[in-house]
Amino acid sequence: MKRLLALSLLLAATLVHAQTAPLKVLMVTGGCCHDYEHQKLILAEGISARANVEFTIIHEEGTSKADKTHKVSIYENPDWAKGYDVVLHNECFGGVTDVPFIERIAKPHFDGLPAVVLHCSTHSYRMADTDVWRHVIGQKSMSHEKARDLHVKNIAPEHPVMKGFPAEWLDKGDELYKNEILYPGFVPLAKAFGEDTQKDHNLVWVNTNGKGRVFGTTMGHTNDTMSDPVYLDLVTRGLLWACGKLDDNGKPMPGYEAKQK
């Protein structure tokens, strides 16, 4: 009887998964100072191996410092986010100062579109005379410490996003972004100690911005960090949480597990 029940549950779960459409993820990437050519593949393949997702990738401009001022073409369209369930931002365009352009990026997230913001996305658009992107992220950060090993401490182990994340994790050769202002919807999940400032800085968090839910981490400067299973597990949980598809135990809700190959 137990064996029959287990088989029935397995078949039911398989049916649910087969009937569940994958989350449509738009990844926007490119810009200064990082290996986005490889990172886009690391993220897309790593998250797809962990959750029922389907990626569309927009990658513009190279890695030189001049690319900081590039304006990603998809954002020129007021309906740029239409048809997507979540946007993964892994971009580095800190020199863009066009306020209406940046407001156009932020608006869908304020209106309820989930977001994942990784590493230099926190520093993108930071020179502009507007805080709308910073409110999407949940914090203001204008600088980071030099690359070094970071001892990341899990300060919210009961939060679904942090279930399975170690109590302390060594993030080798990464950059610690300095928190200058934390906005009201910001919920810190992990921190590391700043050698320059002699205080802790939050480097994993969730945020509520208007109707939108946001997961963020400033970790991810190197391909080694992004390739680490601990990092990919974390970002996958964060993406599912932002979409409301993560259960209280940090597991994908039925239908949103990775498809079996």
Domains and CATH numbers, the chain: 20-242 (3.40.50.880)
Do 30 and 72 contact (CB within 8 A), yes or no? yes
The Cβ-side half-sphere exposure at 187, using a 13 Å CA radius, reads 16
Identify the pLDDT of residue 16: 53
If you ran DSSP here, which 8-state letter would residue 54 be given?
E
Counting Cβ atoms within 10 Å, is residue 33 exposed (0-12), middle (13-18) or buried (19+)?
middle
What is the pTM assigned to this prediction? 0.92
What is the distance between the alpha carbons of residues 94 and 14, in angstroms, rounded to a whole number? 44
Identify the pLDDT of residue 224: 98
Name the residue among 29, 91, 79 with its Cα closest to residue 58: 29
Taking CA atoms, 100 is separated from 104, 144, 222, in Å, by: 6, 27, 32
Site of tokens 């963020």: 216
Mean pLDDT by 10 residues, the chain (261 residues): 50 60 97 95 98 98 78 97 98 96 98 98 97 98 97 98 98 98 98 98 98 98 98 99 98 94 59
Name the residue among 104, 98, 189 with its Cα closest to residue 139: 189
User: SS3 letters for 117-143?
Assistant: EEHHHHCCCCCCCCCHHHHHHCEECCC
Identify the pLDDT of residue 79: 97
